Amino acid sequence: MTDCAAEIRRIIAARGPISIAEFMAVALTDPEAGYYVRRNPISGDFITAPEISQIFGELIGVFLVQAWEDRGRPGQILLIEMGPGRGTLMADVLRAARVRPGFLHAAGIHLVEVSPVLRAAQQQALGQHRVSWHSSIGEIAPDAPAFIVANEFFDALPVRQFVRSGGAWRERKIALDGNRFYFCLDAAPAPAQMIPHHLRDAPDGAVFEFSGPSHALARELAVRVVRTGGVALIIDYGHVQSGLADTFQAVRAHRFADPLAMPGDADLTCHVDFAALRAAALEGGAEVSGPVPQGRFLRALGIHARAEMLKRDAIAYAATIDSGVERLVSDAQMGSLFKVMGLSRTADAPLPGFAEC
């Protein structure tokens, strides 16, 4: 058992069963043994869009530059990435942005990252740039327009699950039997307001997921964009409408694993509820674009034209370029499961790409 498992056992022994959200928080971000704190999971356990093709990050760079131009080319901006992995996306964004030197001159680069291991990888990838690191976006002073990217960040934020049982909704929790973790249901019914009205009469066995941290962060991003200007772009896998499903999962070495078996040694995620994110962003006063399927969004930004340009200069890699594009946009792969949502100020110009979707 890992140190994370020992910490979770200690918490349960002291307080009784804990929520899935608390289990995820300890397993992923415990300061001593959390999965994201002590590992570099990119490629080893899973792969993200920027690692599949450089075109993904380049198109995000084009999106950000166009949004900056549409907002009058402010002379100082905060270029923020949430959960930047190995720094690949930001490196590709900055390379694409060289077409507008004024954007690079205006941009202060800020990375929100809790992992010392990944911070070191980001520093290596972005060594020629001046970068500031933060543990949360709240550490970044809201003193300039914020241009924010969160790619596969929300899926790892802690989620609570509620199960319909005996005609009532009860929170699913995690308990301990010896050294083995197992799921159980809270004896007390969950507060009615936790469940969307249209789902409250679901049949027994139905599962609803809610992420308080995701709601709070989406609202925080919206408030920042409304107050300072700029944009936020959220890209993740999930569903457009709030629904019923158990999406709590673990991935280790590119394979699904038992989410309770090895806390701290496997990535834990849930599908993102974009309807809930949209509601939170609207609470924060933002104009919300999307969500739209990732494939449709990347096509609108010109992914196929960019691929043809790359292939002209790298004929030997044409098949690799094509397979990467297919993986990003195909409905059978990432094109439909992944969604894109943008936040901006109501009075500002529409966000690039969304209108064409």
The whole-angstrom distance between residue 322's C-alpha and the CA centroid of its chain comes to 25
Q: What is the pLDDT of residues 244-300, one digit of tens each?
A: 999 999 988 878 899 999 898 888 999 999 999 999 999 999 999 999 999 999 999
Specify the pLDDT at position 192: 87
* Region for residue 44 given its phi and psi (left: phi exceeds 0; alpha: psi -120 to 50; beta: otherwise): alpha
- CA distances 95 to 54, 169, 206, 355, Å, are 10, 50, 46, 25
Domain edges within the chain: 36-156+211-240+264-344
Does 47 have pLDDT greater than 90?
A: no
Residues of 119-134 as b/e, b for ≥16 C-beta within 10 angstroms? bebbeebbeeeebebe
User: Which of 157, 151, 125, 153 is CA-nearest to residue 50?
Assistant: 151
On the question of pLDDT at 356 being above 50, the answer is yes
Lowest mean pLDDT among 1-5, 59-63, 321-325, 331-335: 1-5
**CB–CB of 338/277 below 8 Å?**
no
Residue 194 reports pLDDT greater than 50: yes
pTM value? 0.94
Q: What is the pLDDT of residue 39?
A: 66
Distance CA 58, CA 52 (A): 12
3-state secondary structure of 258: coil
Phi-psi region of 349 (alpha: psi -120 to 50; beta: other; left: phi over 0): beta
Nearest to 90 by CA among 105, 74, 104: 104
- Read off the pLDDT band of 317 (50, 70, 90): confident
Q: For residues 5-17, give the mean pLDDT.
A: 95
Q: Which has more pLDDT, 38 or 227?
A: 227
Query: Among the listed ranges 53-67, 92-106, 147-161, 309-323, which one has the minimum average pLDDT value?
Result: 309-323
Distance CA(53)–CA(30), nearest Å, equals 31
Q: What pLDDT shows up at residue 37?
A: 79
Taking the C-alpha atoms of residue 239 and residue 159, their distance in angstroms, rounded to an integer, is 15
Lowest mean pLDDT among 31-45, 74-88, 193-207: 31-45
The pLDDT score that the predictor gives to residue 43 is 52
Q: pLDDT at position 1, please?
A: 46
Flag whether pLDDT at 38 surpasses 80.
no
Stretch 17-29: mean pLDDT, rounded? 95
Nearest CA among 78, 80, 86 for reference residue 123: 86
Q: How far is CA 131 from CA 15, 65, 110, 186, in A?
A: 41, 19, 6, 45
Domain 36-156+211-240+264-344 matching CATH 3.40.50.150: the answer reads: yes
On the question of pLDDT at 128 being above 90, the answer is: no
Alpha carbon 145 to its chain's center? 21
- pLDDT band of residue 315 (cuts 50, 70, 90) is confident
What is the SS3 string spanning 78-103? EEEEECCCCCHHHHHHHHHHHHCHHH
Average pLDDT of the chain to the nearest whole number:
94
